[in-house]
Each structure stands twice: as C-alpha cells, then as structure tokens.
Structure 1
Amino acid sequence: MTGRLAGKVALVCGAGTEGGGLGNGKAAALAFAEQGARLHLLDRDPAALAETAGEIPGSTTTIGDATDPAVLREAVSACESAHGGLDILHNNIGAAVQGAAENVTAETFERGFRLNVTTALLAIQAAIPAMRRRGGGSIINIASISGIRVLEGLAYVAYPVAKAALSQLTRVVAANHGPDGIRCNVILPGFILTPMVERAVLGAAGGMTLDAYLAKRSAAIPLGRWGEARDVAMAAVYLASDEARYVTGVELVVDGGATLLTG
C-alpha cells in the first residue's frame, strides 16, 4: 500500500546516519516520505542531515543537539511553520554508551540516560502542544530489546537501563495524553544491521570480528538472519498511520523472534 501517511506531517529526530549508510532514523524518514508524509528532519550532524534531506524532496531541516530543549522547540516550530502542523513525532536519538555496572562512572551513566531518554522526553514536551492543535498525533519512540533482555557478551549498563526507562516513559505519556488524541508507542528493535553495530556494539563484544558476531547472533534468531533498518521503519509507518488509531502504550518488538528463546 502507498499513501498510508498522506496529509500527515512528521518530525524525525535523529534523521541522519553518522558516517553514511542506512540507520533507523534515516530509514524511517524515507519510509514516511514514501507513504506520503511531509517531513521535517532533525540531526546534530550537518552532513548526515543533508544526505537524508537530499533524498526527500520538500523536506525541511533543523541542525542541532537534541539534548538542548531549545533545539527541540525550534524544530517543532520550524515544522509547523513549513508544513502547517505536526502529526507524527519519531524519536530515534540514542547511543550505546560503554561501561559495565561494576565500573561505569556516574557521569557516563547519566549521559546514557540523557541521550536515550531525556532527548525523547524533551521532544515529546515540545511536540504535545503542536499535536493538540491538530487534534491528536502519534509519538513513536525507538528503544531496544536490550531493555527487556540482558544480551550476553555486551558489557554496558547505561544503554539497556535507559531503553527500559524509555519504554516506561512511553506508557506514561500514552496514559496521560490519550485524552488529547495523542498516541505513544515504542518499537524494540532486535539485531538490526545498521552502521551502529560496527561502531558501538562491537566495541563491547570482546573483540569479535563483524562476521563472527553476525554469525553468532544469527544462530540465535528464529528467522535465522539479522533485520534491516527498513524493518523497523515499516513498523513505525504502521504506528504512525490511522491503521493503528486504537493502538497506544504498546511495545512493538521487531526482532525476528530473538526474544522468544532463552538458550
């Protein structure tokens, strides 16, 4: 189907892919555009942002760091000015901050929360008034299966704990703002092959090569393979669309069945 988001306006936070390639934010922006949405894109990396915007005719952009609430307010205001409103907020900003439970510093742990949870909260705070003016909207947060499972061999604590908190933030927002017609859901990607895998996950995987890590994880996924950024993006399209008009406060796991197994 095409045109599932026709007439809707989406703000994608974290729309660029640092260093190139196709990350979850860029994939979501492209999928929203394919389905007829008008796009406003936010990223702190000017080159990555320009690359995504260059593939979406008519898109507008804000360059800035989403840990700054003024940047989020500016992005929402620019989106409304350019496109007449805001219907969809896609929160994709996050980072796998290193540090095991026994030695992570308080500063590093708090940085992990700021990147993975606080940025989403700030974006939601900025977006809610704009969505109220439209009579409702859809907020989509991107968490991780690491927020509901402990992943063997990945020696970090801030990221999974923050992603678990993001899921609870989603439920709170969904409950509090359902009367405003605002839905809030969270996607939990599993093993998705994006540039983040090599840059961040392998840094905590005990020195394994990329091929070895991919093969090890594939063996533990019932579908027998890693997912792609577009798999997450199409789940976001569903949650953003009117097809999900009665879906809120939900954790949508996109993992090929990985969390079904305990072995």
Structure 2
Amino acid sequence: MKLFSLEGEVAVVTGAGSGIGQAIAIGLAEAGADVALFDLEQQSAGLTETAIQVTGHGRQALVATGDVTHADDLAAAIASAERGLGALSLAVNAAGIANAFPAETMALSDWERMIRTNLTGVFLSCQAEAQAMLVHGRGAIVNVASMSGSIVNRGLTQAHYNSSKAGVIQLSKSLAMEWVGRGIRVNALSPGYTLSPMNRRPEVAEQLKVFAQETPMARIAAVDEMVGPTLFLLSQAASFVTGHDLVVDGGFTAW
C-alpha cells in the first residue's frame, strides 16, 4: 500500500549494527528507503551485515561510525548521509545501553553513563537530524524508548535505565510540539521484552522465561516485530500522529 511505502525517502538509523536498530534499518530498505547506518566503531561488523541486507533489497546504504554522545560525530554522519543519499527525511534513534545495579550501591558513573547514552544521545541525535530536516521542511523521527519508561519491571534493579527511557518518551513529546508547525513529526516506540542483545545480558538470562510468562501473549518479541510499528510511525499512514508513545509489548502493560 502506498500509505506505508517509504519509496524515495532517505533515512538514518542509529544503533544499526545490531538488535532492534539493525532490524529496523533493513525494514526501512525493504519499504523503499535508502538508509544511512550509524553505530559505534566496534559494531563495524554488524554495520557491514546491515549494509549488505539493505543493498540486497535494492536500496543504497551508507555506513558511518561514531558515538551518539558526541555531537560532532552525529553532525558528520548526517552531512555524509545527505551528500551520499540526498535530503534526510526519516530517522530512527535506536542506539542505547542496558545494565542493572541496585540503586543504593549504584556508582554515579554508571548512572551518568546510562543517562548520557540513552537520553542525551537521543537528544543529540534528534537535534542533528532536525537541523537537516527543518531546512527541507519535512521529516519524521522515531525514538526507541521502552515500556520500562512507563512501568517498573519486577525483579530488575535498573532505576537508571527506566529513568532514561521515561526521559526519551517525554523528550519525544516535547520535540514533537516544538516542531509540530514546521513539518517534523516525532514519536516514541516502546518495546516490551524483546530478544535483542540487551535481553541476552547475563543478569536477565534466567528471567526470560518469567518475562514470557508475565506477558499476556506468553512469549518474548522478536526484533523483527518492532519493524512494522516503526514503519507505520514513519510513513504517511501516520501523517496525523505526533507526540505519541507506541507501546509494543504483547499486552504486558495492560495487566
């Protein structure tokens, strides 16, 4: 359907070297977009694999490495994308980290690293992307948050992670309202328990069965199940949707 087509669009995806970001980048290409792929230098192998998948769908791929906490890295990546692929019109910010520490003993450095990567990194990404999109007068941005930005996960000591994702949701709403009259839509995507590299961490490995049992659909999501909701938010099918947090959690937050 034309409503869901991304034909002729140019997208950038942060965190494109693995997990949800990688799946979404490939999905954007399948829907017709050319895609700039951004991730850390140590994710180069994953970025290469993503690029192969993107070009396999007949679309152009451009790889850029850097850190979302460094504004200069993001500015260089966006400039490279526009030189190589054309005017930026879509963005998905999926770069992020996860870990767990009891709040009473959490080191300040661990708190600050989480907020810097998951929240400040998303802000800097949106800022760089919007600076390009505002020139063209159009664009759509999706920030990957988490259901943990709205609820507290039983059994997980991750106050810093939950706080960072709550921040992403509110940031997305705030930016949506700042740019609502200037052609840019901004929304958040909040996955539930998803079998991404984050949920293969040692501290949650033994809890995956419990997570599935606590989810009404009785299973963990595959990363590919985040592609369709993201395509919707980026496409003309969501032309009247902005400032929204789309929760994709198998019903978890309904209980």
- Would you say same fold, with TM above 0.5? yes
1:75 maps to 2:62: no
Which of 210, 215, 224 aligns to 1:221? It is 215
1:258 maps to 2:252: yes
TM-score by length of 2: 0.93
- Alpha-carbon distance in 1 for matches of 2:134, 2:220: 38
| Structure 2 residue aligned with 1:10 | 11
Q: How does 1:101-112 map to 2 (within 5 A)?
A: 101-112=103-114
Give structure 2 stretches of 5+ with no counterpart.
none
Deviations 1:178-203 (A, max 9, x none): 1111000001100111222112xx42
- Alpha-carbon distance in 2 for matches of 1:244, 1:60: 26
| Structure 1 residue aligned with 2:26 | 30
| Structure 2 residue aligned with 1:40 | 36
After TM superposition, give the deviation of residue 70 of structure 1 in Å.
0.4
| Structure 2 residue aligned with 1:98 | 100
After TM superposition, give the deviation of residue 224 of structure 1 in Å.
1.8
| Structure 2 residue aligned with 1:20 | none
Letter in 2 for 1:13: T
Deviations 1:4-54 (A, max 9, x none): 10111100001001xxxxx10000001000000010100112111111112
Letter in 2 for 1:48: G
Regions of 4+ moved over 4 Å: none
Percent identity (aligned): 36
| Structure 2 residue aligned with 1:180 | 182
| Structure 2 residue aligned with 1:146 | 148
Q: Which has the higher helix share?
A: 2
| Structure 1 residue aligned with 2:61 | 59
After TM superposition, give the deviation of residue 169 of structure 1 in Å.
0.4
| Structure 2 residue aligned with 1:116 | 118
| Aligned partner of residue 54 in structure 2, secondary structure | coil
Q: How does 1:224-263 map to 2 (within 5 A)?
A: 224-261=218-255
Q: Is the 8 A contact 2:176 2:243 kept in 1?
A: yes
| Structure 1 residue aligned with 2:133 | 131
Letter in 1 for 2:251: G
| Structure 2 residue aligned with 1:89 | 91
Moved more, 216-225 or 5-14: 216-225
| Aligned partner of residue 249 in structure 1, secondary structure | coil
Letter in 2 for 1:107: S
Q: Is the 8 A contact 1:137 1:181 kept in 2?
A: yes
- Alpha-carbon distance in 1 for matches of 2:248, 2:188: 11
Letter in 2 for 1:68: H
Give structure 1 stretches of 5+ with no counterpart.
18-22
- Alpha-carbon distance in 2 for matches of 1:113, 1:194: 20
- Alpha-carbon distance in 2 for matches of 1:150, 1:132: 36
- Alpha-carbon distance in 2 for matches of 1:234, 1:217: 22
User: Between Structure 1 and Structure 2, how many residues are aligned?
Assistant: 248
Letter in 1 for 2:90: I
After TM superposition, give the deviation of residue 105 of structure 1 in Å.
1.6
Q: Is the 8 A contact 1:13 1:41 kept in 2?
A: yes
- Alpha-carbon distance in 2 for matches of 1:230, 1:133: 32
After TM superposition, give the deviation of residue 127 of structure 1 in Å.
1.1
Q: Is the 8 A contact 1:97 1:108 kept in 2?
A: no
